Amino acid sequence: MSGKETFMIETLTREMIARLMEERSMTMREAMDIVYKSKTYAALNNTKTGLYFQSPAYLYDCLEKELKNAL
C-alpha cells in the first residue's frame, strides 16, 4: 500500500468516526470500536476494492447499512 492510499484510508476512517460521534452521540472510543471492527473498514483497507476512492458520505452510508443489518 502506498503512502497516498494509506493517507486516504486514514482520512476516511477519521471521517467515519467523527460522523458516528456526531450523529449517534458516541464517545470517540465507542465510535472507533465500531469502525475498526466493521466489515466496511476491512473492505476499505483492501485496496483492491477501491473504496478509498469513494467519498466519506458513501462510506458512512455503507457503515450505516452494515450496522442496521447487524441489529
Q: Hey, where are the domains in the chain?
A: 3-70
What is the per-residue DSSP string for 19-66? HHHHHH---HHHHHHHHHTSHHHHHHH-GGG-GGGS-HHHHHHHHHHH
Q: Tell me the pLDDT band of 70, cut-offs 50, 70 and 90.
A: confident
Please state, rounded to an integer, the average pLDDT across all residues of the chain: 95
pLDDT recorded at residue 1: 80
**Which residue is listed with cell 467519498?**
55
- Tell me the whole-structure pTM to 2 decimals: 0.91
Q: Per-residue pLDDT tens for 38-68? A: 999 999 999 999 999 999 999 999 999 999 9
